[in-house]
Amino acid sequence: MLISEAYAQAAAPAAGATGGLMSMLPLVLMFVVLYFVMIRPQMKRQKETRAMLEALSKGDEVVTQGGVIGRISKLGDTFVHLEVANGVELQVQRAAIVQVLPKGTFK
Q: What is the model's pLDDT at position 9? A: 53
Q: Which residues contact 93 (CB under 8 A, 6 or more apart)?
A: 78, 79, 80
Mean pLDDT of the chain: 86
pLDDT digits (tens, 9 = 90+) for 9-43: 555 555 555 677 788 888 899 999 999 999 999 99
- What CATH class is the domain 56-101? mainly beta
* Confidence (pTM): 0.67
CA distance 65 to 19: 51
CA distance 68 to 36: 34
Distances (CA, A) of 45 to 49, 50, 95: 6, 9, 14
